[in-house]
Amino acid sequence: MAQSTLGIAKRSQIPFKLVTVSGIIFLIMAAFPLFFGSFQISLMSKLLLFGALAVSLDLVWGFTGILSFAHGVFFTLGGYAMAYYLKLNLAADGNTYGIDLPDFMVWNGLEKLPWFIAPLKYFPIAAVAMVAIPAIFAYLVGTFIFRSKVSGVYITIITLAISSALTTFFISQQAYTGGTNGITDVSRLSIAGVDVPLNGLYWMILLFTGCVLAGSYWLTKSNLGLILRSIKENENRISYLGYDVASFKIFIWTLSAGIAGIAGGLFVPLNRFISPVYLAVAFGTQVVIWVAIGGRGTLIGPIIAAMLLGQVQNYAERVTQDWQLVVGILLLVVVVFIPDGLVGTIAKLFKPKQKVAR
Amino acid sequence: MKADQERSKKRKNMFYYLAQEEAASSFSSIALANQLVNGIGIVGILLLTGLGLAITFGVMRIINLAHGEFIMLGAYVTFVLQSNFNLDLLLTIPFSFLITGAIGALVELTIIRRLYGRPLETLLATWGLSIVLQGVIKLIFTAQLKYVKAPPYISGNLTLLTDEQGSPAIAISYYRLFIVAIALALLALTSYLLNNTDLGRQVRSVTQNRDMSKCLGVNTSLVDMITFAYGCGLAGVAGTVISSLKSVSPPMGQDYLVDAWMTVVTGGVDKLVGVLAGAFLIGQSNAGIAYLLNDPVARVIVLGAVIVLIRYFPEGLFTVQKRS
């Protein structure tokens, strides 16, 4: 009880210090493209997106206690929606075979654009689809699994199965998804006929990640966030208090899938391809690792972990082939010895001790 | 441009050819029977890989995502013994059981024990462990594919039925039968150990009610260690037996991990027969659907079915009513 009232008291103040500090960091990040080359900008943009993806998982795992390996799936579904748009626009320009068909569909003997892909030719539809497809998929899955007595570990196993099944499915439907290669050689992103330069894309992504972070912060400090955290701590007690636990879970699950989908959609114009690699369990665990190392329930931790590990990986992979071994050892050490994650532990060290109500 | 067009034409032709071939091999009960007989081989592999997992999950309620890597370790033990001492594959089974079991005990002592009662943390830690084990093996043996020889006396096919031309219509390789035999033998052994020994009784009591067993003087931490080591040892045996089917490589365990988990959650972990049932259900439905449609679709359907199953029977199909 003391904990919760403390939370409400804090919430009513506007955190000026936090706003100033994050504003300054945002401005520094915004100035980033002015000082670095296109390779660094592109890498940084990808890492920002991975950061947003990690935050979306943090909402579900760190705050609500649902460990998901399927966030790579939501990311990739959004990515495919955008990739179809970019690919179809390339095909319409007459670059391939003179017909309005992406190359991989021609190779696989398709003669006509399938009806379920055709609408993605238009930007507004693709933009909506990149959020809606993962969100609807997550909503259906969430409604199915959260409205039952399935809990904790079994949900995680279900997410593993989803990731594994979809990977197999996308690889097998070669004519529609491009199989193992995925959708490659997509066109550059252009909105309303204007090409978006790399810097523009970077700023868009920075804005998106900033919004995700700010929105998540606001969400977790709100009453809703309090309920979510309580679900993580003691699900039964919350349901005895009259809250419909399943609805809250489904809401946050769908929201987080939507965020992951947008991140995936923005990832494609940067990466210039999307493939089942991002659907697979390995990528899903990569996201989990970022959140675990950064610190569950800290929001900023997962972003920092994703960006730091990504940057280090970029250099380490040139020097050694055993970068994954280092990640594994890091994960083991964090899980066994510092379960709060790096940022969580540092925050604990500097936090003044809370007064305990007696 | 022109070359591209020709290539696309060729691809198209190939596609039509494939489609025709598919249409030609229309439904035949003998081919289906053959598929189902060969599905028994898949059942054997699932049983073998799921058994160790079922025991550790049942007793300790921990999610071991490094199970695939213990399978991989078993395969490497066989590879090392075979390439250095020219040992027969069958003779390496005890070694791989003991070595992977010892590594499992070490892991339990250093990592799993610290995370007791936090299943999601163990899941993460074992995932980290799986990355580390893969990395270490890659450091020692490089990422190159290694090959293990199957015992020469277990070769050839058992033909159950021949068609008019005298070629086998329903056939299964002896090696797959051997896998099934090993899996069943291990199942019987485990069942004997669980039901007819003192340690087994303690293990079962811990499975049913950990706190109560502790009160009654069962050394639960010792039981945990032995169970985990035994589960890992079984994974090692699975690795040895599977090693000659495909190549041996650091990421080989990943292929078996998800399927082994699906087997375990389908059958439930309260009774050993659950694992057998899970393996049978998944293996045979996979084989049957793969015959009617195709392999990837079969996998997707089976995984979807398992998800639905977990939704309605989270404890698996074969459960014991118990107070918690």
- pLDDT tens-digit series, residues A117-137: 778 878 888 889 989 999 999
Q: A71: which residues sit within 8 A by CB, 6+ positions away?
A: A53, A56, A57, A60, A256, A257, A260, A284, A287
**What average pLDDT does chain B have?**
81
For residue B119, give the chain A residue with the closest CA: A153
| CB-count exposure of residue B284 (10 Å: 0-12, 13-18, 19+) | middle
For residue A142, give the chain B residue with the closest CA: B311
For residue B297, give the chain A residue with the closest CA: A169
The whole-number pLDDT of residue A352 equals 63
The nearest CA of chain A is from the CA of B128 a distance in Å of 5
Does any domain span residue B184?
yes
Give the C-alpha separation, A34 to B154, whole Å: 68
If we measure between CA atoms, which residue out of A261, A95, A277, A99 comes closest to residue A178? A277
Give me A249's structure tokens: 């879970």
At residue B72 the predicted structure's pLDDT band, cuts being 50, 70 and 90, is very high
Give contacts of B120 with chain A, Cβ < 8 Å. 67, 152-153, 156
Give contacts of B125 with chain A, Cβ < 8 Å. 331-332, 335-336
Task: Answer yes or no: is pLDDT of B241 > 70.
Answer: yes
Give the C-alpha separation, A327 to B127, whole Å: 11
Q: What is the mean pLDDT of residues B51-61?
A: 84
The whole-number pLDDT of residue A356 equals 53
The whole-number pLDDT of residue A197 equals 80
At residue B149 the predicted structure's pLDDT band, cuts being 50, 70 and 90, is confident
Strands A190-191 and A194-195: antiparallel
Give me A41's structure tokens: 């900008």
The nearest CA of chain A is from the CA of B57 a distance in Å of 11
Check CB contact under 8 Å for A331 and B128: yes
Check CB contact under 8 Å for B11 and A144: no
> Which of A164, A165, A292 lies nearest to residue B124, judging by beta carbons?
A292
Residue to test with chain B: of A110, A157, A291, A334, most B Cβ within 10 A: A157
At residue A358 the predicted structure's pLDDT band, cuts being 50, 70 and 90, is very low
Give the C-alpha separation, B120 to B135, whole Å: 23
Q: What is the mean pLDDT of residues B141-156?
A: 79
The whole-number pLDDT of residue B100 equals 93
Q: What is the mean pLDDT of residues A196-223?
A: 88
The whole-number pLDDT of residue B287 equals 82
Q: What is the mean pLDDT of residues A218-229?
A: 88
Q: Given CB atoms, is B225 within the 8 Å cutoff of chain A?
A: no
Check CB contact under 8 Å for A157 and B310: yes
The nearest CA of chain B is from the CA of A283 a distance in Å of 13
Give the C-alpha separation, B123 to B99, whole Å: 23
Number of structural domains in chain B: 1
Domain that holds residue B63: 31-148+168-251
For residue B18, count other CB atoms closer than 10 A to its CB.
11
The whole-number pLDDT of residue B127 equals 87
Q: Which residues pair with B146 in a beta bridge?
A: B248
The whole-number pLDDT of residue B308 equals 87
Task: Answer yes or no: is pLDDT of B164 > 80.
Answer: no
Check CB contact under 8 Å for B11 and A160: no
Q: Given CB atoms, is B293 within the 8 Å cutoff of chain A?
A: no
Does any domain span residue B186?
yes
Residue to test with chain B: of A335, A337, A338, A340, most B Cβ within 10 A: A335
| CB-count exposure of residue A353 (10 Å: 0-12, 13-18, 19+) | exposed
At residue B319 the predicted structure's pLDDT band, cuts being 50, 70 and 90, is low
| Cα angle for residues B125, B126, B129 (degrees, 5° grid) | 90
pLDDT tens-digit map of A292-317: 888 888 888 899 988 888 888 888 77
Check CB contact under 8 Å for B265 and A157: yes
The nearest CA of chain B is from the CA of A150 a distance in Å of 6
Task: Answer yes or no: is pLDDT of B27 > 70.
Answer: no
At residue B23 the predicted structure's pLDDT band, cuts being 50, 70 and 90, is very low
Does any domain span residue B122?
yes
- A-contacting residues of B 29-88, CB under 8 Å? 61, 63
> Which of A144, A164, A172 lies nearest to residue B311, judging by beta carbons?
A144
The whole-number pLDDT of residue A1 equals 43
Give me A27's structure tokens: 């401005």
Task: Answer yes or no: is pLDDT of B21 > 70.
Answer: no
Element (H, E) at A190: strand A190-191
The nearest CA of chain B is from the CA of A70 a distance in Å of 13
Check CB contact under 8 Å for A160 and B261: yes
Q: What is the mean pLDDT of residues A206-234?
A: 89
The whole-number pLDDT of residue B243 equals 86
**What average pLDDT does chain A have?**
82
Residue to test with chain A: of B1, B6, B8, most A Cβ within 10 A: B8
In total, the C-beta contacts within 8 angstroms joining chain A to chain B are 132
Q: B22: which residues sit within 8 A by CB, 6+ positions away?
A: none
Task: Answer yes or no: is pLDDT of B189 > 70.
Answer: yes
Give the C-alpha separation, A200 to A217, whole Å: 25
Give me B291's structure tokens: 């015959």
At residue B167 the predicted structure's pLDDT band, cuts being 50, 70 and 90, is low
Q: What is the mean pLDDT of residues B101-111?
A: 92
Does any domain span residue B159?
no
pLDDT tens-digit map of A244-294: 888 999 999 999 999 999 999 999 888 888 888 888 888 888 898 889 888
| CB-count exposure of residue B155 (10 Å: 0-12, 13-18, 19+) | exposed
At residue B272 the predicted structure's pLDDT band, cuts being 50, 70 and 90, is confident
User: What is the 8-class DSSP label of residue A276?
Assistant: G
> Which of A97, A150, A160 lies nearest to residue B311, judging by beta carbons?
A150
At residue B265 the predicted structure's pLDDT band, cuts being 50, 70 and 90, is confident
At residue A51 the predicted structure's pLDDT band, cuts being 50, 70 and 90, is very high
The whole-number pLDDT of residue B10 equals 47
Give contacts of B258 with chain A, Cβ < 8 Å. 160-161, 164, 281
Task: Answer yes or no: is pLDDT of B111 > 50.
Answer: yes
Is-contact B173 B158, C-beta < 8 A?
yes
Listed as own residue / partner, the contacts of B153-159 with beta carbons closer than 8 Å and 24 or more positions apart are: B154/B178
Give me B255's structure tokens: 């292929």
Check CB contact under 8 Å for A335 and B128: yes
User: What is the 8-class DSSP label of residue A193?
Assistant: T
- A-contacting residues of B 262-281, CB under 8 Å? 262, 265
Q: What is the mean pLDDT of residues A20-30?
A: 83
How many helices and strands (H and E) does chain B possess?
12, 2
Round the CA-based radius of gyration of chain B to a whole number and report it. Answer: 22
> Which of A109, A150, A165 lies nearest to residue B310, judging by beta carbons?
A150
Taking the CA atoms of residue A19, residue A24, residue A26 and residue A31 in that order, the dihedral angle to the nearest 10 degrees is 160
Round the CA-based radius of gyration of chain A to a whole number and report it. Answer: 21
Q: Given CB atoms, is B17 within the 8 Å cutoff of chain A?
A: no
Q: What is the mean pLDDT of residues A75-80?
A: 92
At residue B247 the predicted structure's pLDDT band, cuts being 50, 70 and 90, is confident
Task: Answer yes or no: is pLDDT of B14 > 60.
Answer: no
Q: What crossing angle do the helices spanning B254-267 and B272-292 adopt, rounded to 10°?
A: 120
The whole-number pLDDT of residue B29 equals 74
Does any domain span residue B297?
no
Report the percentage of chain B scoring pLDDT > 90. Answer: 12
Give contacts of B4 with chain A, Cβ < 8 Å. 96-97
Does any domain span residue B275?
no
Task: Answer yes or no: is pLDDT of B11 > 50.
Answer: no
